[in-house]
Amino acid sequence: MKFSPKAFMPELFLILRSGYKKEYLGGDLFGGITVAIVALPLAMAFAIASGVGPEKGIITAIVAGILASLFGGSRVQISGPTGAFVVVIYDIVLRHGYEGLALATLMAGVMLMVMGLFRLGAVIKFIPYPVITGFTAGIALLIFSSQVADMLGLKIDQMPGDFLSKWQVIFSHLFQTNGIALVLGLVCVGLIVGAKRVFPKVPGPIVAVIFGAVAVQVFNLPVETIYSRFGEISPTLPTPSFAMDISLENIKLLFPSAMTIALLAAIESLLCAVVADGMIGSRHNSNSELLGQGIANIGSIAFGGIPATAAIARTATNIKAGGKTPLSGIIHAVVLILFMVYLAPYIVMIPLSALAAILMVVAWNMSEIENVKHLFKAPTSDVAVLATTFLLTVLIDLTVAVQVGVVLAAILFIKRIISVSAILDNKIATYEPLPEAFNDPDGIEYKAIKEGVEVYEINGPFFFGIADRLKFVLDAIGVTPRVFVLRMRHVPFIDATGMYALKEFQEKCVAKGTVLVLSGVQPPLLKDLKRFGFVGRVGEENIFDHIDQALIHANTLAVHHEKN
């Protein structure tokens, strides 16, 4: 493998080299300020839920926000503490203290950089969608569970790490419920949800914490606040230091935890980058992004922070507010520094039930209920992978969940390939046999295709290993076609990741004004697409058994478009 510095060039450097446009500045400035307002309460809430002080969350958002924007491979991503890490961090701090977390995160940062240097960014994309959905939903349930005590105003000295013990302790303390804290928390939930629906441009979390802090001070409410639990927040960043016991024994002890942090950071960041690409029509550099996240995690720990990764919600906020380049991420971190310096005495007035309300809403959004419902319409094997990953995340451990989920998905995939191969060998009429390489009467070279019609074909099973390739086909074409015909005559099956990729592709077609037409869809595949709800999305009138019918329809649409 040749090492080419250009392959790892940070996105910010590429933008500056080609010339930063003046029209970007206003969007970057407004985007950075807006996302900083959103990030402040979230950073503190994630840190507290992780078992550390709120200032560590702010430090992480500042340091990781700057470093990931400086060295990352995506244009508009915002990095900092996220919900995905809450469960992992809490468990490490509970067993090894903050010093153990610092060493594990330092190791994870190095692992991320190694992943980037060895160009493993693309490999992360091959993790099946049911595995990602399963552990994300599991994390969401664990985050929700971790906030119940603060929402109810329960005073519990040490909350257990595992799910069942946590709920056992909560039930045993229910008689201590603080009604005022509960009402305040529920009102904050209502404010967050209401702000999103009524005033979508107003950050709900900041509305909730301001309301909570003002209510506590004005009415002298007997609820726990950041100050009553953690004391004052320092208005300055600490001096960078790596004061930890970096011994071989500790490295061996914390290696599994470091692997979990690195894997989570990689998956979350690259998923976020894909989402951002879809929103702004760009394409990230996955290996540069891994390098940037590695540097960001090492920097965060040097200043006394916690693990960091790209945050999808904050990145989306940045884009919607006008962020255009990585400069918006740097501006967001600078604004957080100003908040830390000038607002520290007021930040500590925030009630913990308000922060619990924020994280409960975050947990609900993370759960992706609609996607989980969709996946239950996928093949039974994908449902099994989803359920297994979810249960292992909640009841055992996140690392075990991802490992078992990936292995189970691979085994089921091999089983599918074997069964499909047997069908093709025996030439059972369920599927069309593969044509000879140079003797295909239905080859596209023999067909009449009008201008504005593009035809692409998928050959073989449409599964998690190749699903990612479909996402950028429209961008690669150059001129946006009026009709896109996707031939699927040699697709014997589709898994949940393939279905999700097909759904994303259809949404991209709609956004670009392109009609998606499917050709050669075999009955078993059509049945799976109906169960998933995809047929309703694309329209039965745009699905055909044979390429000739599909092209007649596509050519008619193209001609009609030209006349209009």
For the record, the structure tokens of 514 come out as: 């392109």
Selected residue with higher pLDDT from 94 and 422:
94
The per-residue pLDDT for range 394-411, each reduced to its tens digit, is 998 877 887 888 788 778
> How confident is the model over 215-242, as a mean pLDDT?
94
Condensed to tens digits (0 to 9), the pLDDT of residues 176-197 reads 999 999 999 999 999 999 998 8
The pair phi, psi for residue 199, each rounded to 5°, is -125, 75
Q: Is 549 exposed, middle or buried (0-12, 13-18, 19+ CB in 10 A)?
A: middle
Residue 303 · residue 25 · CB < 8 Å:
no
Measured from the Cβ of residue 127, the count of other Cβ atoms closer than 10 Å reads: 21
pLDDT exceeds 60 at position 77: yes
Give pLDDT tens digits for 373-400: 878 877 888 888 889 999 999 998 877 8
Instruction: Give the pLDDT confidence score for residue 271 in this predicted structure.
Output: 86
Residue matched to tokens 């320092």: 234
- CA dist., res. 328 & res. 334, Å (int): 10
At residue 545, what are phi and psi to the nearest 5 degrees?
-75, -35
Average pLDDT over residues 3-20: 82
What pLDDT was estimated at residue 2? 52
Per-residue pLDDT band at 428 (split at 50, 70, 90): very low
pLDDT tens by residue, 320-355? 999 999 999 999 999 999 999 999 999 999 999 999
Q: What pLDDT, on the 0 to 100 scale, is given for residue 423? A: 40
Q: What is the pLDDT of residue 325?
A: 96
Give the pLDDT of residue 130. Answer: 87
Tokens found for residue 42: 């979230």
Whether 544 and 550 have beta carbons less than 8 Å apart is answered as: yes
Q: What is the rounded average pLDDT of the residues 235-243?
A: 90
Whole-angstrom distance, CA of residue 234 vs CA of residue 28: 28
pLDDT at 175 over 50: yes
pLDDT computed for residue 338 by the predictor? 96
The pLDDT of 66-91, averaged and rounded, is 94
Q: What is the mean pLDDT of residues 354-362?
A: 95
Distance CA 95, CA 80 (A): 23
pLDDT digits (tens, 9 = 90+) for 536-559: 999 999 999 999 999 999 999 988
d(CA 167, CA 164) in angstroms, rounded, equals: 5
Give the per-residue pLDDT at 73. 94
Residues 240-283: pLDDT tens digits? 998 888 899 999 999 999 999 999 999 999 989 988 888 888 88
Angle, vertex CA 473, rays to CA 405 and CA 508, nearest 5: 80
- Among the listed residues 182, 221, 217, 232, the one whose alpha carbon sits nearest the alpha carbon of residue 354: 182
pLDDT for residue 141: 94
Q: Give percent above pLDDT 70 in the chain.
A: 92
Of 43-47, 293-297, 380-384, where does mean pLDDT reach its minimum?
380-384
Closest CA to 114 of 295, 302, 311: 295
| pLDDT above 90 as % of the chain | 60
| Strand arrangement of the beta sheet that strand 543-544 belongs to | 453-459, 483-490, 515-519, 543-544
User: What's the rounded Cα separation, in Å, for the pair 526 and 531?
Assistant: 9
What is the rounded distance in angstroms from the CA atom of residue 456 to the CA atom of residue 518?
A: 10
CA distances from 313 to 57, 64, 231 (A): 16, 16, 29
Angle 273-386-370 (CA atoms, 0-180°, nearest 5)? Answer: 65
pLDDT computed for residue 424 by the predictor: 41
Least reliable range by pLDDT among 9-18, 25-34, 334-343, 466-475: 466-475
Query: For residue 224, what pLDDT is reported?
Result: 96
Beta bridge partners of 79: 310
Compute φ and ψ for 483, nearest 5 degrees. Answer: -130, 135
Q: What is the 3-state secondary structure (H, E, C) of 433-475?
A: CCCECCECCCCHHHCCCCCCEEEEEEECCECCCCHHHHHHHHH
The average pLDDT across 513-524 equals: 92
Question: Which of 234-243, 289-298, 328-337, 365-374 shows the lowest per-residue confidence on average (mean pLDDT)?
Answer: 365-374
The pLDDT value recorded for residue 380 is 82
Say what the pLDDT of residue 344 is: 93
Note the residue count of the chain: 564
Query: Which tokens belong to 234?
Result: 């320092």
Distance CA 423, CA 433 (A): 9
Helices (H), 376-451: 380-395, 398-426
DSSP readout, 475-531?
A: HHHSSPPSEEEEEEEE---B-HHHHHHHHHHHHHHHHTTPEEEEES--HHHHHHHHH
Give the DSSP letter string of 338-352.
HHHHHHHHHHTTSBH
Average pLDDT taken over every residue of the chain = 88
Handedness of CA 167, 168, 170, 174 (dihedral sign): positive
If one counts every other C-beta atom within 10 angstroms of the C-beta of residue 222, the result is 10
What is the per-residue pLDDT across 441-484, written as a single tens digit (0 to 9) for each?
777 777 888 888 999 888 877 876 666 677 777 777 777 899 99
Q: How confident is the model at residue 431 (pLDDT cuts 50, 70, 90)?
A: very low
Picking from 58, 68, 109, the residue whose alpha carbon sits closest to that of residue 318 is 68
Half-sphere exposure of 350 (CA within 13 A, CB side): 30
| Token pair of 379 as six digits | 């093949």
Asked if 35 contacts 323 with a C-beta cutoff of 8 angstroms, the reply is yes
Q: Which two tokens stand for residue 421?
A: 């191969």
pLDDT at 427 over 60: no
CB 128 within 8 A of CB 405: yes
Residue 434 has pLDDT above 70, yes or no: no
